[in-house]
Amino acid sequence: MPSQLDFETLKTQVAEGSIDTVLVCLVDMQGRLMGKRFLAQHFVDTGWEETHCCNYLLATDLAMSTPDGYKSTSWEAGYGDYVMRPDLSTLRPVPWLEGTVMVLCDVLDHATHKDVPHSPRAILKSQIARLEQMGLTAMAATELEFFLFAKSFDEISKVGFQDLTPISACNEDYHILQTTKEEHVMRPIRNHLYAAGLPIEGSKGEAETGQEELNIKYAAALDCADHHAIAKHGIKEIAWQQGHAVTFMPKWHHEKVGSSSHIHQSLWEDGAPAFFDADGQFGMSKLMSQYVAGLIKYAPDVTYFLAPYVNSYKRFQKGTFAPTGRVWSVDNRTAGFRLCGAHSKAVRIECRIGGSDLNPYLAMATQIACGIAGIEEALELQPPLDGDAYATKEGGTIPENLRDARDALHGSDMLRAAIGDDVVAHYSRCAEVELEWFDKVVTDQEIARGFEQA
């Protein structure tokens, strides 16, 4: 396993002069790392205890604007502070930046020093705690898909994001020759992230021009989310260092296959896989059947957390491996939920709905909430789908657009009980902000289609 970094070792490295900078980061609603760069000596002296940030960091949109309508913070309330408390168990080197280490923070209320309830890390921790009360532990793994482009972020930005040329011109799914041509980017991504303490397994070409996939070994749910957020950030920085842009937009071009972020999940009890029963159908325990039934029943309620933007829903198209149905199957990539590792202790369920733009903390937290509901309600799992999930209406569908997903989130009694009314209201408002922005924008395609012909 890769190693991280303990605090005493950091003190030694700072004293020796090999480390001079500490990235002190929180995870925002969009799953991005936000925070400060500390002089390392200050961090080991006092900064490791806590620091402060503006509370607007958990109430912005993708462009970092400050929309109104949030109960937690506003212009009227004056945009006060949150406390950032470093979680020293997340301390790790950042090998692609000279003399630098990183730590993730929990976000606390400035007055009470309690977790801010709508902080993504706090939401996931609350669902993990619910499982712990049941004697269960959540294990998870996410797949990161993204597109790698020939030019840099700066070059693409200067021409208005019009010159979007992928690094390759062919479908490179499992393609060794083509991915060899991209090793000047992908090799440092794998090696640097592994050296940063992430259990990287490997990378591969994906099913489109310039599309890549990074695989990280499964871990406890909170660790998995940390790995995902750090990897996504690191991929952007390392690609930038090599003169290339990457995008985690799930659908950057209407003629290109989209990028997903599948979530593999299982529950463990006393160090053993609680999803496995050698005598059960496909090796599934009753607990697993109930959990999966919960995922399926409540998929509409949590779709927003798997597809949080208007663009997210452009990915859901027939024949693209992006599922549209609320069904499960055995090793079938057309279904929303795929049973993997049948008849083995590695049996698990893969949620294939999520796009590459999801926030891993929110996605995993709400997946766990669905599964817990399935267990508590003792739901019965219907038989698996055989054949093409795109060709059936069995089981129903997920919301087809962000507006419908927002409505399902806002009206979810299950989520209100699981994560709280205020948290549901907070993220419902986040969805509304995205819709309000998009509704007033005139797109290039609208102009090209209607400028003369309308």
pLDDT in tens, 18-47: 999 999 999 999 999 999 999 999 999 999
Per-residue model confidence (pLDDT) at position 389? 64
Domain end: 116, 142, 169, which one? 116
Q: Are residues 246 and 360 in the same domain?
A: yes
Q: Are residues 238 and 272 in the same domain?
A: yes
Domain end: 96, 116, 136, which one? 116
Q: Are residues 92 and 231 in the same domain?
A: no
Q: Are residues 236 and 295 in the same domain?
A: yes
Q: Are residues 100 and 135 in the same domain?
A: no
Q: Are residues 271 and 358 in the same domain?
A: yes
Q: Are residues 222 and 254 in the same domain?
A: yes
- Write down how long the chain is: 454
Q: Are residues 305 and 438 in the same domain?
A: yes
- Whether residue 452 is contained in a domain is answered as no
Helix (H) or strand (E) holding 103: strand 100-109
Q: Helices marked H in 255-314 — which ranges?
A: 286-297, 299-306
Q: Which 3 state secondary structure label does DSSP give 51?
A: strand
- Whether residue 1 is contained in a domain is answered as no
Rounded to the nearest angstrom, the gap between the alpha carbon of residue 428 and the centroid of all alpha carbons in its chain is 18
Q: Are residues 111 and 133 in the same domain?
A: no
Q: Give the confidence band of 151 by pLDDT, cuts at 50, 70, 90.
A: very high
Structural domain boundaries, residue 180: 127-447
Count of domains forming the chain: 2
Half-sphere exposure of 105 (CA within 13 A, CB side): 27
User: For residue 90, what are the contacts with CB-CB under 8 A and spacing of at least 6?
Assistant: 4, 102, 103, 104, 226
What mean pLDDT value characterizes the chain? 93
pLDDT in tens, 226-276: 999 999 999 999 999 999 999 999 999 998 999 999 999 999 999 999 999
- Whether residue 454 is contained in a domain is answered as no
Provide the CATH number for the domain around residue 140.
Answer: 3.30.590.10
Q: Which residues of 338-377 are buried (b: 16+ CB within 10 A; e: fewer)?
A: bbebeeeeebbbbbbbbbbbbbbbbbbbbbbbbbbbbbee
Is the pLDDT at 1 greater than 60, yes or no? no
- Whether residue 377 is contained in a domain is answered as yes
- Whether residue 2 is contained in a domain is answered as no
Q: Are residues 399 and 376 in the same domain?
A: yes
Q: How big is the chain by its Cα radius of gyration, in Å?
A: 22
Q: Tell me the average pLDDT across 403-408.
A: 98
State pTM to two decimals: 0.96
